[in-house]
C-alpha cells in the first residue's frame, strides 16, 4: 500500500500549502509597510531637530536640564 494516496491526505497538503503561502504573504506585506514608512520622515521631526540645534547654538540650556516650577527635586524620595 505504498502507492495509494487518499483525498484526505491531498486536502491536508493543499491546505498546508495555502496556510504557508498566506503566512509568507503577511510577512511580506509587513516588511513592505515597514520599509515604506521608514523612508518617510515627518517634517515636524526635522523642525524640532533644527530648533534644538538653534537653541544649543544660542547657549540656552536644554529642556531636560531646566527645572519647571511644578517639578520636585530629583532626590525627593530620599527625604
State pLDDT tens for residues 26-71.
999 999 999 888 877 777 788 888 888 888 877 655 555 666 777 7
Give how far Cα 18 sits from Cα of 7, 32, 77, Å.
16, 21, 59
Sign of CA dihedral 67, 70, 76, 79: positive
Check residues 69 and 15 and name the one with the higher pLDDT: 15
Amino acid at each position: 500500500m505504498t502507492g495509494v494516496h487518499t483525498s484526505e491526505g491531498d486536502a491536508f497538503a493543499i491546505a498546508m500549502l495555502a496556510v504557508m503561502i498566506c503566512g509568507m504573504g503577511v510577512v511580506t506585506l509587513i516588511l513592505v509597510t515597514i520599509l515604506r514608512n521608514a523612508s518617510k520622515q515627518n517634517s515636524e521631526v526635522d523642525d524640532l531637530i533644527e530648533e534644538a540645534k538653534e537653541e544649543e547654538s544660542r547657549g540656552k540650556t536644554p529642556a531636560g536640564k531646566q527645572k519647571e516650577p511644578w517639578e520636585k527635586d530629583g532626590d525627593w524620595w530620599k527625604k
